[in-house]
Amino acid sequence: MINRIGVVGLGYVGLPLACAFASKSFKVIGLDTDLEKIELIKRGETPIYEEGLQELLRKVLEEKSLKVTSSYREMVEETEACFICVGTPSNPDGSVDLRYVREAIEMLGESLRRVDKYFLLVVRSTIPPGTTLNVIKRILEEKSGRRLGEYGLCFNPEFLREGRALYDIFNPDRVIIGAIDEESGKLLLDIYKKFHGESIPPVLMTNPTNAELIKYANNVFLATKVSFINMVSQLCQRIPNADVKVVAEGIGMDKRIGREFLNAGLGWGGSCFPKDVKAFLRFGEELGLRSKLVESIIEINETQIENAVKLAEELVGRLEGRTISILGLAFKPNTDDVRESRAIRLIEELLKYDVEIKVHDPKALEKAKKILGDRVIYCKTIEECLTGSDLCILATEWAEYKELKQEMLKKYMRSPALLDCRRLYDPGEFKQIKFAAIGLGPRYVKSLSSNSEE
Ligand code: UDX
C-alpha cells in the first residue's frame, strides 16, 4: 500500500491535490522548480486563490504531512508514487507544448536510477492521446534504465474546476484510470480507495490512450454545450419576447440534456477549454479529421464578443468618447484567474473604439493589470467603477454584483445603462434605466430604453 506520495507542479491542480492527499493520512512531498513559489508555500501562503486552500495548506504544513522541495532526488527517495501536475500550454498553432512534462519525466527518470524500489508514476497533466505510451514511457525507460514492472505508469485525468478544486478532489463524479499494466492500475486504485474510503466514486479502468481522450472529449463536449446555448442566445436576440434563460431552463429539464453548462454569456474562457478545444481540433487534423463542429464552437465563442459590442452600441449609440464600467475580469467567478478571460477579450475589443474603460473585480485586479497595463482605470469599489460612466457591462457573474440596484446606477453613472452579459439580473428590476442582456429578445432593449426617456 502506497502511503508516501510526491506531487510535481504546485499550480492550480498540483497544490490542491498535494494538500488534499496530505489531509487524508498520506505523507506528501510537493515539488516545484519555481523557488519563489516554494518559499511562499513554505510560509503557508498560496500563490493562487482557491476556496479553502490557504486554511488546508496551513493545517497540513503544521501537521507536517506536507513538505515542499525543489529537489527531484529528495522526492523520489522519500516517496513511492508521484503525480505529475505540470502545465501543458498551447503552441502558437494550437498543438500541445509538452516541454514541462518531458522535463519532469526526465528529472524523475534520472532520480529513479539512483534508488532501488518500485515507483508508480501518475500523469495528471492534460496530454494528447498516445502521449503516455509513445512519449512518456519511452523517456522514462531511457532515463531510468528501468523496464515496465520495475515501475508503474498511469494516465489519470483531473476534472477540477478552478475555484472548486478542493471540492472536486474530495467529491469527484468519477475516477478515470488509464493504466499501462494491471499492477499500475491496482496501485492507483488503492490510493483512491484509501483517499475516499466508503464514498469512493465510480471508477473506469482503461488504457492510457482512452483516458487521455476522455479528458479532451469531456472538455470539448462541455464547451460545445456552452457554444450551443450561445448560438441559441443569438437567435433569441432576433426574436421578440424570446429569452435564452427560459429556453435553457426548459431544455435543461430534459434529463438527457441536463441544465448544467447551459448558461449563455460571453463564452468560455479559462486555462482549459480554449487550450483543449484547439488541441482537440489540431490532433484531429493531424490524423486527417477536420471537425467542422469544433471549428464552429470556436467561431460562436468569438461572435459572442461581437454580439456584446453590438448590444452596447444599441444601448448607448456610438461608443467613441464614452466611459464604460466593466464589472468582473476573472474568466469566471470565484477565481483570480484571467487566462483567456472573455471579459478581457471584450475590453480589448471595446478599446478599439476610443473609449475610457473603468474595471472592477473582487479578486482578479492584480492579474488583469499584467495584461491590460495602463489602458484601463482600476477601481477598488463598484461605486468608484460606476462613477461618471455611460454604460455598465456585467462581464463575470460574481455573487456580489447580484446586489446591484438601478438606484445605484442612477446615483453614480452619468447616464445609467446596464448590459448584462452573464444573465445575472432580472430585467424587471431595471425597468427605469436602459437595460439589455445577452439572449433577450429585442423588445426589451427598445421598450426599456424608451421607458427611461419618459
Ligand atoms: C473546466 C472543466 O469544468 C474542468 O472539468 C476541467 O478540469 C478544467 O476546465 P474551469 O476552466 O475551471 O473548468 O471552468 P468551468 O467552470 O468549466 O467554466 C469554463 C468556462 O465556461 C468559463 O469561462 C465559464 O464562464 C464558461 N461557462 C461555463 C459558461 O459560459 N456557461 C456555462 O453554463 C458554464
Q: How many domains does the chain have?
A: 2
Q: What is the reported pLDDT for 375?
A: 98
Give the tens place of pLDDT for each residue, 77-102. 999 999 999 999 999 999 999 999 99
Of the listed ranges 71-80, 208-217, 444-453, the least confidently predicted one is: 444-453
Question: Do 432 and 343 belong to one domain?
Answer: yes
Residue 422 CA, closest ligand 1 atom number: 30
Give the tens place of pLDDT for each residue, 275-286. 999 999 999 999
215 occurs within a structural domain: no
Question: Do 175 and 58 belong to one domain?
Answer: yes
Q: What is the reported pLDDT for 442?
A: 81
Q: What is the reported pLDDT for 453?
A: 39
Q: What is the reported pLDDT for 443?
A: 60
Question: Do 189 and 249 belong to one domain?
Answer: no
27 occurs within a structural domain: yes
103 occurs within a structural domain: yes
Q: What is the reported pLDDT for 444?
A: 57
Going from the Cα of 268 to the center of ligand 1, the distance in angstroms, rounded, reads 7
Domain boundary among 162, 182, 206: 206
**What crossing angle do the helices spanning 273-286 and 208-236 adopt, rounded to 10°?**
110
Give the tens place of pLDDT for each residue, 106-158. 999 999 999 999 999 999 999 999 999 999 999 999 999 999 999 999 999 99
Question: Do 298 and 378 belong to one domain?
Answer: yes
Mutate to test the pocket of ligand 1, among 51, 125, 161 (most ligand atoms within 8 A of CB): 161
323 occurs within a structural domain: yes
125 occurs within a structural domain: yes
Four-point Cα dihedral 426, 428, 429, 433, nearest 10? 110
233 occurs within a structural domain: no
- Residue of 85, 272, 379, 392 marked catalytic: 272
Q: Which three cell numbers stand for residue 253?
A: 429539464
Question: Do 195 and 245 belong to one domain?
Answer: no
Going from the Cα of 451 to the center of ligand 1, the distance in angstroms, rounded, reads 36
Question: Do 123 and 49 belong to one domain?
Answer: yes
CATH code assigned at 182: 3.40.50.720
Whether 454 has a pLDDT exceeding 50, the answer reads no
227 occurs within a structural domain: no
Question: Do 187 and 254 belong to one domain?
Answer: no
Mutate to test the pocket of ligand 1, among 159, 272, 421 (most ligand atoms within 8 A of CB): 272
pLDDT confidence bin for 447, thresholds 50/70/90:
very low
**Residue ranges of the alpha helices (H) in 199-243?**
208-236
Question: Do 193 and 247 belong to one domain?
Answer: no
Report the alpha-carbon angle 258-20-216, nearest 5: 40
Q: pTM score, two decimals?
A: 0.94
Report the alpha-carbon angle 296-232-341, nearest 5: 60
Question: Do 251 and 393 belong to one domain?
Answer: yes
Strand order through the sheet with 66-69: 66-69, 27-31, 4-8, 81-84, 119-123, 151-155, 175-179, 203-206
Question: Do 153 and 253 belong to one domain?
Answer: no
Question: Do 358 and 404 belong to one domain?
Answer: yes
Helix (H, G, I), strand (E, B) or coil at 10: coil
Strand order through the sheet with 323-327: 377-378, 356-360, 323-327, 391-394, 417-420, 434-437
Which residue segment(s) compose the domain that 20 sits in? 4-206
Q: What is the reported pLDDT for 177?
A: 98
Domain boundary among 206, 233, 256: 206
Give the tens place of pLDDT for each residue, 320-370. 999 999 999 999 999 889 999 999 999 999 999 999 999 999 999 999 999
Domain boundary among 186, 206, 226: 206
Q: Is 272 a catalytic residue?
A: yes
219 occurs within a structural domain: no
Question: Do 245 and 202 belong to one domain?
Answer: no
